[in-house]
Structure 1
Amino acid sequence: MNRTVLFLSLAGSLALAALVLGLPQVTQPRKEPPPEVAVPTPPPPPLQNTPGSLTMTSRLSHPYVPSGSSEVFATVDLTGAEVPGAKRSPVNLALVIDRSGSMSGYKLAQAKQAARHLVGLLREEDRLAIVHYGSDVKSLPAASVTPAQRERMLQYVDGIWDDGGTNIGAGLSAGRFQLSTAQSEFKVNRLILMSDGQPTEGITDNDGLSRLVQELRASGVTVSSIGVGTDFNEDLMQGFAEYGGGAYGFLEDAGQLAALFQKDLQQASTSVARGVSLTFTLPPGTSLGEVLGYNARQSGNQVTVALPDFSAGQLERVVVRLVTTGERVGQTVRVLDLKLAYTDLIRNVGTENTAALSAVVTDRAEEVLARQDKDATLYSVRARSAANLKKAAEALSEGRREEAALYIRQNQDMFDQASAVAGPAAVAPEKAAQQATLDEYESATSDEQMRSAVKRSKAKALRDFGRVGSTY
């Protein structure tokens, strides 16, 4: 094979991969092979920045890009600091339990057992309010968990019985009031909401309830949401966790509630950062494609993503699709500037981390492929597959089975393409997970099985977007 054929073959392979992976598009191949040139100095490796309680690691999928416009992905990993031997922080906690008619029997019995378990985990320096709602709301006022109060709390839980509709808004408002009575005395103020159904009374529209959660977050309260069974509105509950800066969990079996309550308490009591936001500044020549899986706010050339509170060791990832332009071979192109801002709860100070990502322009198609970042490529494909998985779940929920299966097969093709860069072993678990989802879709025959598959898919999509620590 002569050099001309080899170059055309490589360029053709790159263009094919670009269709599936969103890799940089190469300009029209030359009729003659390029002259031998010295390899430019490689750009710096993935950047790691750790001046506070969060570590930020950022990287580009393509440190080398062809001349002209190219699609690249930036991935940013944020990790909470481990604090060996540190005593957990006292928490001001409100547990808000759905006790509407649909919770009767096993689910409410398990919710009560989980609440008893949570009470047993708390210490005297912690504060707890117990709220339960149906059509109306009842509350045990917040109090420090002394031995006497602990016994009172356990007795109160025993007295909860199912009744009425589902007034989630009233439950959230009651929880907020209980937390406010001592909020200024605590660094960590958290509300855990549990529901098995759709809102039927009080505020019932998604926007109104989401605004209520946003107000809670703005007041300094973190909201976590746990959906039980297959009848609740998963989009609404996921939105509560995102807007509330907490975590989302989906449980088919209420018997697992105790473990999730315990996990959320652990996250709350080991918090190392809150008020976390990541801002992308787009230099001239770079434009935003999308922030995958997060609500982003853009103003001019700045894009801001709000992130959850972080506990010790918690990992969250943000993947961004960008279009960047390079003109001169050998040129180093500034692709993206990053700023991470948050309150460091270890030192109790505001903290900012900054970083910048750059790429080198080359006219060698094989160099674009050879220099690809394996991890960033895998993360970007995983995030793009999550977008497809979410679409598949929506299609399945509306009975469009063939369309749902098509999205999953597209994901399988994307991971097949990614194996050329990341390696077959790296994508094997991803391919197995996609096949398991496809099998589940094909075997779901009842409405409940379909609802369960939809909720599992949407929870997996959150994790694949990068919400690793905030999705239970």
Structure 2
Amino acid sequence: MNRTVLFLSLAGALALTALVLGLPRGEDTQPTPHVVVTPPTPPTPPPTVFQAGAGGSIQVKSRLSHPYLPVGASETYATVDLTGMEVAGAKRSPVNLAVVIDRSGSMSGYKLQQAKQAARHLVTLLRDEDRLAIVHYGSDVKSLPSLPATPANRERMAQFIDSIWDDGGTNISAGLSVGRTQLASAMGGAATVNRLILMSDGQPTEGVSDEQGLKNVVRDIRASGITVSSIGVGTDFNEDLMQAFAEYGAGAYGFLEDASQLSNLFQRDLQQATTAVARNVELSFELPPGTTLGEVLGYRAHQAGNTVRVAMPDFSAGQVERVVVRLNVTAGAAGQSVQVAGLKLTYTDLIARHNVEDQSRLTAVATNIQEEVVQRQDKEATVYAARARGAQNLQKAAEAMSQGKKDAAQLYLRQNQALFMEAGNVAGAAAVAADQAEQAESMKAYDDADSEESQRAAVKSSKVKALKGFGRMGSTY
């Protein structure tokens, strides 16, 4: 082969290799500069969970179902969990307690026997520094004045309980008033908690009998510094009224179809009273421009201007309550932070013995990418919102059932099954398995309710489940 041809062939091969491998093809050829294009930095997402309250006796955790919101108008659910602080090694507080027992004619026999047994058991749980008043009512009211729970007085209390007999109508207002008077006579001593436990199996027939009037009685008792808990026994009492007593009284509500469980509920309420960590608890939402209130699910709320206030029960150590709120939010330009709501929790701290105010903010990020809204959805907050919405349907089902509309009641429960299936698509099937099982259990109870009494029991049971679904977990027995 000719040398010139060979040289040209080698040069061509080197040039081809340089082209393929990106090698320089000669000294006069400058390397192409390597340009790195940096994509714009996305906005920092808001924290999924905001925690506050480390300095007080209530821990606060708040979250949004949608921390990324679409540009324009949309809705999101805010969930706020409140937890009473556990106090390691703390001595339980003395309690000033009054037990108010319905002994009207409908309580005769087994119910009254169980109520007396529960009251006797409660007496055995008291300590010398505790105080107890015992009140029983029918048409009239009898009471044992508030006494320190010394051994001699505990014996006197047991004898008084044994003397209770069934008689007369149901004068709830008189029983509440005497209970309040007995508690007030002992206030100001060593006890920091003053608590009234009301038990009834029927509807008011004497004294103040209209619902608003009775609510006002309980509201006044609460304003005097006394917490009211209510326990309904059997299927004849007005569950909505008894729930309202607990709500206005900042206490707990319980429903017992069988009076044999009264001892457990009395003991549980005493435990809450003697481990109390906070009272006068109020959660408020401050709504900035662009946010409006949809609804507070399952709680009595008061809105004045841009502030929404929610009254909460007194808190004991470890008690958990949840508030779910539906908010309508208008988000601005993509990438901007969205101020959804300000939160404020105020209460009297019974551990530190001073008033506490915790404040925080719920924020989101605006986006014009729908997939981002879906992918960033908070799983737990979505389940909590589904439970609160399901609780609304459960209440509607109970109302329909109370009117004998079984088909309508079951329709609400089927809507809940679809609602939890939707939440399961976000959070996973395991996250809502218990909720779906509970709906199936309620459906079966409605199917099996073939008598007026069983229908009333199903209604009351559904309303208890609804309270827990709304988030009233610690204040519902």
Q: State the 1:378 CA deviation.
A: 0.4
Instruction: Write the mapping of 1:232-271 to structure 2, written as runs, cut at 5 A.
Output: 232-271=237-276
SS in 1 for 2:345: strand
SS in 1 for 2:295: strand
Q: State the 1:43 CA deviation.
A: 1.2
2: CA distance, partners of 1:41 / 1:223: 46
Q: What's the Cα RMSD here?
A: 0.8
Q: State the 1:182 CA deviation.
A: 1.6
Q: Confirm whether residue 377 of structure 1 aligns to residue 382 of structure 2.
A: yes
Q: Confirm whether residue 102 of structure 1 aligns to residue 131 of structure 2.
A: no
Q: Confirm whether residue 444 of structure 1 aligns to residue 449 of structure 2.
A: yes
Q: Confirm whether residue 128 of structure 1 aligns to residue 120 of structure 2.
A: no
2: CA distance, partners of 1:390 / 1:37: 49
* Distance 1:412-1:37 versus aligned 2 partners, 3 A rule: farther
Identify the match of residue 160 of structure 2 among 156, 159, 173: 156
Instruction: Write the mapping of 1:133-148 to structure 2, written as runs, cut at 5 A.
Output: 133-148=137-152
Q: State the 1:327 CA deviation.
A: 2.0
Instruction: Write the mapping of 1:47-126 to structure 2, written as runs, cut at 5 A.
Output: 47-50=50-53, 51-126=55-130
1:342 maps to 347
SS in 2 for 1:226: strand
Q: Confirm whether residue 388 of structure 1 aligns to residue 393 of structure 2.
A: yes
2: CA distance, partners of 1:173 / 1:159: 21
TM-score, length-scaled by structure 1: 0.92
Identify the match of residue 202 of structure 2 among 175, 197, 201: 197
2:301 maps to 296
SS in 2 for 1:284: coil
Q: State the 1:40 CA deviation.
A: 2.8
2:322 maps to 317
2: CA distance, partners of 1:212 / 1:386: 28
1: CA distance, partners of 2:409 / 2:296: 23
After the TM superposition, list the runs of 4 or more consecutive aligned residues in structure 1 that deviate by more than 6 angstroms.
none
2:48 touches 2:64 (CA, 8 Å); kept in 1?
Answer: no
* Structure of larger gyration radius: 2
Q: State the 1:372 CA deviation.
A: 0.4
SS in 2 for 1:183: coil
Please list the CA deviations of residues 290-326 of structure 1 after superposition, one character each: whole Å capped at 9, or x if unmatched. 0000000110000000000000000000000000001
2: CA distance, partners of 1:299 / 1:336: 15
Q: State the 1:37 CA deviation.
A: 6.8
* Distance 1:143-1:382 versus aligned 2 partners, 3 A rule: same
2: CA distance, partners of 1:115 / 1:450: 29
Q: Count the aligned residue pairs.
A: 437
Instruction: Write the mapping of 1:324-335 to structure 2, written as runs, cut at 5 A.
Output: 324-335=329-340
Aligned partner letter, 1:156? F
SS in 2 for 1:193: strand
Identify the match of residue 182 of structure 1 among 176, 182, 186: 186
2: CA distance, partners of 1:319 / 1:257: 31
Q: State the 1:69 CA deviation.
A: 0.5
2:336 touches 2:365 (CA, 8 Å); kept in 1?
Answer: yes
2:11 maps to none
2:121 touches 2:263 (CA, 8 Å); kept in 1?
Answer: yes
2:49 maps to 46
Aligned partner letter, 1:109? Q
Q: State the 1:45 CA deviation.
A: 2.9
Q: State the 1:39 CA deviation.
A: 3.6
Q: Which runs of 5+ in 2 are unaligned?
A: 1-38
SS in 1 for 2:165: coil
1:22 maps to none
Q: State the 1:444 CA deviation.
A: 0.6
Aligned partner letter, 2:145? P
2: CA distance, partners of 1:412 / 1:117: 42
2: CA distance, partners of 1:145 / 1:405: 50
2:70 touches 2:373 (CA, 8 Å); kept in 1?
Answer: yes
Q: State the 1:184 CA deviation.
A: 1.8
Please list the CA deviations of residues 145-182 of structure 1 after superposition, one character each: whole Å capped at 9, or x if unmatched. 11111111000000000000000000000000000012
1: CA distance, partners of 2:44 / 2:290: 22
2: CA distance, partners of 1:253 / 1:37: 65
2: CA distance, partners of 1:45 / 1:74: 11
1: CA distance, partners of 2:317 / 2:324: 22
2:12 maps to none
2: CA distance, partners of 1:74 / 1:311: 24
Q: Which runs of 5+ in 1 are unaligned?
A: 1-35
2: CA distance, partners of 1:265 / 1:41: 47
SS in 1 for 2:464: helix
Please list the CA deviations of residues 188-219 of structure 1 after superposition, one character each: whole Å capped at 9, or x if unmatched. 00000000000000010110000000001111
SS in 1 for 2:340: strand
Q: Confirm whether residue 410 of structure 1 aligns to residue 415 of structure 2.
A: yes
SS in 1 for 2:188: helix
Aligned partner letter, 1:292? L
Aligned partner letter, 2:51? Q
Q: Confirm whether residue 272 of structure 1 aligns to residue 270 of structure 2.
A: no
Please list the CA deviations of residues 417-445 of structure 1 after superposition, one character each: whole Å capped at 9, or x if unmatched. 11111100001111111011011111110
2: CA distance, partners of 1:167 / 1:46: 48
Q: State the 1:42 CA deviation.
A: 1.2
Q: State the 1:254 CA deviation.
A: 0.5
2:48 touches 2:378 (CA, 8 Å); kept in 1?
Answer: no
Q: State the 1:44 CA deviation.
A: 2.0
2: CA distance, partners of 1:266 / 1:41: 44
Please list the CA deviations of residues 385-406 of structure 1 after superposition, one character each: whole Å capped at 9, or x if unmatched. 0001000000000011111111
Q: Confirm whether residue 361 of structure 1 aligns to residue 347 of structure 2.
A: no
2: CA distance, partners of 1:237 / 1:42: 44
Q: Confirm whether residue 462 of structure 1 aligns to residue 467 of structure 2.
A: yes
